[in-house]
Amino acid sequence: MANNHFNYKTVYAFAREMHPKTEKFDVQYGTAGFRAKASTLGYVMYRMGLLAVLRARYKKGCVGVMITASHNPEPDNGVKLIDPCGEMLEQSWELWATKFANVADDELVDVIHEIVSKLDIEMTQRVEILVGKDTRPSSPSLAKALCDGILALSGKPIDYGIVTTPQLHYFVYCKNSKHEYGIPTEEGYYTKLSNAFKKLRGESFNNGNYFNKILFDGANGVGAKKIKYFQECLGDSLKIEMYNDELIGTGKLNFMCGADYVKVKQTFPNGVPQITEQRCCSVDGDADRLIYYYLDENKKCHLLDGDRIAILIAEYLKEMVESTGLEVDLGLVQTAYANGASTDYITQKLKVPVSFACTGIKYLHHEAQKFEIGVYFEANGHGTIVFKKEFKEKLKLALENTSLSNEQHGAIKKVLTIIDLINETVGDAISDMLLVETILHSKGWSIQDWEKKYTDLPNRLMKVSVKDRTQITTTNSERTCIKPDGLQDEIDTIVARYKAGRSFVRPSGTEDLVRVYAEAISQEEADQLSLEVALKVYDMADGIGPKPSL
């Protein structure tokens, strides 16, 4: 057994006296870690501090812990662990996280023994745990609980204060890559991204139908704080007009604004001036999601969501790589929530292969890593691009190849700069925005030009409350329901009655409910289809509360 130098007494005493388990119900490490009402999370944070130290020792590197509930309301909070390469916590450890969170206070030490001995964890290393938090008022006290857990096992917490989730992922990877990926400071992050952006933009800031002004909805959260640093670094190359900044406004985090609100309600956010045809974007509460939109002359809000962002990026990268003359295996990853019209466009027009993954960035990320260039986005605007190490090396090697033309060398350098603009560790709203702005600028496109590529199928997302959402199980990247028996047959029968109809159901990983998605040829039909399916779920899966209605 590995040598144990930690002080069991401290672990238990801290648990009992400062962070006792207050909740009787079990919590589960879900799609995005633990999420709940902030007031119930103190002991979970403490235990995640313990687990983070164990994970860091096991991986022999530093790990991150982000305190955030993303797009959820302000009274909520949550926690997720970041692995040494900047990715989400490896799935097999999610089970440990759930176990750690749910055992009784006096069993905590036993569970630590269990994991240490099962995984042969060397307990003498002094590991660093990078801690970040969003702007929620509950975050500082939860961070204190987390740090108590880290200290109880003699880890070293490094508090980055208020940062976006993707910034923390970036810092973790920078540290573990020994700065090869970048400098693990906020300044290092701003400098890397803004230098790449300015290099790509060149001297002329406008081009064709593209104008260098964007309205930015910060969701009254950390994105609003951080975009100000970018604005300073970017100067006049991009004029970001910022709205929904809790410091100057009175708005509440994610309340009637932010990327989730705009996407789910398919509507223009509060707090942003309604200027016809003006390009706007929203980020969510921890700035890892991005949605674009504009208002037409009839005040109708047109959304350009994650599907469109993914397509814009994939098409651009495909063209860029083609001009280098290098062979590349480029693919796109979507979830079942991707609009059917986007999938048709990618596969039929762009001729780029599409893979499907389960909901949750961790699944998309790993699927995307199978390609040399893997573009992945959830329809809600969460995504990034990953490049295989071998591909980056291939690019660098090609720069030394004298048989390639000057144009090809220029294109290779440009692709390398684009890679610098991207936060490959996880979806990053600000980095994604800078990339979208770069592409629109390079093509000379307005947001309307971008939208013209294809027409989305009208769609509708609904929620159904049921007694036990784990009763519903799915397969085929969540597109087919296995349990309860017979539900999928019923859905198929309903869908068959709708032109271009598609619908699926799955239990949410972040909320205690079942989600129903539907799309069809018109909005009325998409609404009707989702309602019919939602009612079926309610009937066949022990619905609770009022029946679903539109």
Ligand X SMILES: CC(=O)N[C@H]1[C@@H](OP(=O)(O)O)O[C@H](CO)[C@@H](O)[C@@H]1O
Residue 307 or 437 with smaller CB distance to ligand X? 307
Would you say 288 or 378 has its CB closer to Mg ion? Answer: 288
How many Å apart are CA 134 and CA 93, to the nearest integer? Answer: 24
134 binds ligand X (CB under 6 A): no
| Residue 74 interacts with Mg ion (CB under 5 A): yes or no | no
Contact 124, 5 (CB under 8 A): yes
Query: Is residue 494 left, alpha or beta, with left meaning phi > 0 and alpha meaning psi from -120 to 50?
Result: alpha
Among the listed residues 64, 78, 268, 61, the one whose alpha carbon sits nearest the alpha carbon of residue 166: 64
Pattern of binders to ligand X over 346-375, x per CB under 6 A? -------------xxx--------------
284 binds Mg ion (CB under 5 A): yes
Distances (CA, A) of 173 to 177, 183, 262, 447, 513: 6, 10, 31, 33, 34
Q: How far is the CB of 380 from Mg ion (least distance, A)?
A: 9
Task: Pull the structure tokens for residue 89.
Answer: 């916590």
DSSP structure class, residue 237: G
Residue 511 contacts which entry, ligand X, Mg ion, none (Cβ below 5-8 A, type-dependent): ligand X
Quote the CA–CA distance of 16 and 21 in Å, as a whole number.
8
Token output for 36 = 């709940």
The 62-91 site mask, x for binding ligand X (CB under 6 A), equals --------x---------------------
* Residue 510 interacts with, from Mg ion, ligand X, none (CB under 5-8 Å by kind): ligand X
Nearest residue to 211 via CA among 441, 534, 36: 441
Q: Are 377 and 428 in contact, with CB atoms under 8 Å apart? A: no
Select 284 or 315, whichever has its Cβ closest to Mg ion.
Answer: 284
Tell me the DSSP string of 394-434: HHHHHHT-TTS-HHHHHHHHHHHHHHHHS-TTS--HHHHHH
Within positions 238 to 297, which residues make up the interface with ligand X, using CB under 6 A? Answer: none
Query: Is 70 one of the catalytic residues?
Result: yes
- Residues flagged as binding site for substrate: 378-380, 506-510, 515
Give me the DSSP letters along 303-349.
EE-HHHHHHHHHHHHHHHHHHHT----EEEEE-TTS-HHHHHIIIII
Contact positions with ligand X (CB under 6 A) in 319-348: 337
Candidates 70, 237, 446, 477; catalytic one: 70
Helix, strand, coil percentages in the chain from 3-state DSSP, rounded to 5 = 45, 20, 35
The answer to whether 28 contacts ligand X (rule: CB under 6 A) is no
Query: Looking at beta carbons only, is 94 or 511 nearer to ligand X?
Result: 511
- Residue 515 makes contact with ligand X by CB under 6 A: yes
Q: Which stretch binds Mg ion (CB under 5 A): 223-231, 280-288, 344-352, 448-456?
A: 280-288
- Please give the DSSP secondary-structure letter assigned to residue 268: P
- Residue closer to Mg ion by CB (options 127, 287) is 287
Q: What mask, x for binding ligand X by CB under 6 A, covers residues 376 to 405?
A: --x-x-x-----------------------
Binding residues for Mg(2+): 70, 284, 286, 288
511 binds ligand X (CB under 6 A): yes
Asked if 286 touches Mg ion (CB under 5 A), the answer is yes
Task: Please give the residue ranges that form the binding site for ligand X (CB under 6 A).
Answer: 31-32, 70, 337, 359-361, 378, 380, 382, 508-511, 515
Task: Please give the residue ranges that form the binding site for Mg ion (CB under 5 A).
Answer: 70, 284, 286, 288
Catalytic (active-site) positions: 70
